[in-house]
């Protein structure tokens, strides 16, 4: 576009510049000197951001960002609240303005121009924030506006207190999204914004990990995410965790499949054994097809639920051993495996528990 251009594209640009606080003059679809000067002002204040991109980034409700509750921040908030009672208007300068601009940035309205100066860009972002929060778009930070804007700071001591929820945008959420994506969950854009896609992925992860009654990403969920992320590539510990979670889903002790696999195969998926026994649990041909017995997850499922030929699994003995404590876990494994060496299972309890701790199972 150049001076003298007219049409819908010019009109759209003028409206956008007005929204962003660049003061294009009369909004009439004519690219005149006022429009040109407004474009130059925007470019000087935001050299790396196109007008279109800025407008797209404003079409959302206000975000929150997690910050540490320091004494300095508390004092600055108190000073800003005092100034807001009188009204903070264009032309103001100082630390309360810096605080307002920082809050606007965390809320997702960061195109405020020079730091510490309440200029037209800052006024436009305040108006945008006010519209999105049902307040009169006055461009002045009054007490009501500050009460809303102050919530853009989510004061927190760590990444889970309070829990990560929809509307939060910060590096802690970015870490959560990256871990979820690495573990195969669909989180949408990995941009640090906890949106509906992130929430859906978190709920799916929690179901897999048997985490209940924890809305958002709390202490249990983040711990499980970090453990799973750490275990990636360690096939042995991944299987330990998988077996333990399968046991817990069935109301069985997590040690049970671990001591059994340690005794039967030293936790290796072997394609040989006594007579026709195969796999980590050394199941014989009557239990199921070779392909199933050599699949660690499927063979563990047979250990829990029973074999193809009617062999009883660990669940079938739950009524007999439940409540008898860890000292009976070896006998429980023996009831399923019918081994010639029944005492060996209980002897591997210490090793099983060390593996469970390494895999993050409590």
String of DSSP letters for 136-177? ---S-B-HHHHHHHGGGEEE-SSSSSSPB-TTBBSHHHHHHH
Average pLDDT over residues 316-339: 95
The average pLDDT across 162-174 equals 95
Mean pLDDT of all residues belonging to the chain: 91
Q: How far is CA 67 from CA 41, 156, 180, 188, 308, in A?
A: 32, 6, 23, 25, 56
Average pLDDT over residues 273-299: 95
**C-beta contacts of 205-211 below 8 A and 24+ residues apart:** 205/180, 208/245, 209/245, 210/245, 210/248, 210/249
347: Cβ contacts below 8 Å, ≥ 6 apart: 330
Give the pLDDT of residue 217: 96
pLDDT, position 309:
93
**Measured between alpha carbons, how far is 56 from 206 in angstroms, rounded to an integer?**
33
Residue 80 has pLDDT above 80, yes or no: yes
**Structure confidence at residue 207 as a pLDDT band (50, 70, 90):** very high
Cβ neighbours for 96, distance < 8 A, ≥ 6 positions apart: 76, 79, 80, 83, 84, 88
pLDDT of residue 111: 84
For domain 235-358, say whether CATH 1.10.530 is its number.
Answer: yes
For the beta carbon of residue 290, count every other beta carbon within 10 angstroms: 12
Residue 324 has pLDDT above 90, yes or no: yes
The encoded tokens of residue 346 equal 């209980």
Which residues neighbour 175 within 8 Å (Cβ) at sequence distance 6 or greater? 159
Give first-to-last CA distance, the chain, whole Å.
65
Q: Where in the chain is the domain with CATH 1.10.101.10?
A: 65-155
Q: Find out whether the peptide bond into 162 is cis, omega within 30 degrees of 0.
A: yes
pLDDT of amino acid 97: 95
Q: If you average pLDDT over residues 26-41, what whole number do you get?
A: 83
Q: Per-residue pLDDT for 1 more than 80?
A: no
pLDDT at 190 over 90: yes
> Which residue has tokens 């461009």?
139
The structure tokens 């854009």 sit at 189
Q: What share of the chain is helix, strand, coil (3-state, %, to 5)?
A: 55, 5, 40
126-153 burial by CB neighbour count: b if 16+ within 10 A, else e? bbbbbebbebeeebbbbeebbebbbbbb
pLDDT(346) > 90: yes
pLDDT band at 40 (very low <50, low <70, confident <90, very high): confident
Assign 325 to helix, strand or coil.
coil
> Binning pLDDT at 50, 70 and 90, where does residue 312 land?
very high
Structure tokens at 217: 């990403």
If pLDDT is split at 50, 70 and 90, which confidence band does 44 have?
confident
Q: In terms of Cα–Cα distance, which of 38, 191, 190 is closest to 108? A: 191
- Helix extents (H) in 210-348: 219-231, 235-249, 255-265, 290-293, 296-305, 318-321, 329-337, 344-347
pLDDT at 241: 94
What does the alpha-carbon distance between residue 129 and residue 148 come to, in Å, rounded to a whole number? 9
In whole angstroms, give the CA distance from residue 208 to residue 242: 10
Sign of CA dihedral 223, 226, 230, 234: positive
Give pTM, 2 decimals: 0.73
How do residues 125-143 score in pLDDT, each as one tens digit?
999 899 889 999 999 999 9
Looking at the domain 171-231, which fold is it?
Muramoyl-pentapeptide Carboxypeptidase; domain 1 (1.10.101)
Where do the CATH 1.10.530 domains begin and end in the chain? 235-358
Q: Does 216 have pLDDT greater than 80? A: yes
Q: Please determine, for residue 52, whether its predicted confidence score (pLDDT) is greater than 90.
A: no
Superfamily of chain region 65-155: PGBD-like superfamily/PGBD (1.10.101.10)
């Amino acid at each position: 576009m150049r001076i003298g251009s007219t049409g819908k594209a010019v009109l759209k640009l003028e409206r956008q510049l007005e929204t962003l606080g660049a003061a294009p003059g009369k909004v009439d679809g004519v690219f005149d000197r006022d429009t040109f000067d407004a474009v130059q002002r925007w470019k000087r204040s935001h050299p790396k951001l196109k007008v279109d991109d800025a407008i797209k980034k404003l079409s959302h409700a206000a975000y929150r960002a997690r910050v540490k509750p320091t004494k300095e921040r508390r004092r600055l908030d108190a000073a800003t609240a005092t100034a807001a009672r009188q009204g903070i208007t264009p032309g103001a300068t100082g630390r309360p303005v810096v605080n307002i601009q920082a809050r606007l940035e965390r809320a997702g309205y960061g195109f405020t121009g020079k730091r510490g100066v309440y200029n037209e860009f800052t006024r436009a972002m305040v108006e945008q924030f006010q519209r999105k929060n049902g307040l009169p778009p006055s461009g002045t930070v009054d007490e009501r506006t500050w009460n809303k804007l102050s919530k853009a700071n989510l004061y927190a001591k760590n990444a889970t207190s309070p829990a990560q929820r929809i509307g939060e945008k910060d590096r802690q959420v970015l870490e959560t999204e990256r871990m979820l994506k690495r573990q195969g969950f669909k989180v949408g854009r990995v941009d640090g914004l906890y949106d509906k896609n992130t929430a859906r992925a978190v709920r799916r992860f929690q179901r897999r990990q048997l985490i209940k009654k924890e809305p958002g990403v709390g202490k249990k969920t983040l711990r499980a995410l970090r453990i799973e992320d750490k275990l990636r590539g360690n096939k042995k510990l991944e299987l330990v965790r998988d077996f333990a979670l399968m046991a817990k889903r069935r109301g069985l002790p997590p040690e049970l499949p671990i001591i059994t696999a340690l005794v039967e195969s030293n936790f290796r998926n072997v394609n040989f054994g006594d007579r026709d026994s195969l796999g980590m649990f050394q199941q014989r041909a009557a239990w199921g097809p070779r392909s199933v017995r050599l699949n660690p997850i499927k063979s563990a499922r047979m250990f829990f639920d029973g074999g193809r030929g009617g062999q009883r699994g660990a669940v079938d003995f739950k009524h007999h051993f439940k409540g008898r404590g860890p000292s009976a876990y070896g006998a429980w494994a023996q009831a399923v495996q019918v081994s010639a060496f029944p005492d060996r299972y209980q002897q591997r309890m210490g090793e099983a528990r060390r593996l469970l701790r390494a895999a993050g199972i409590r």
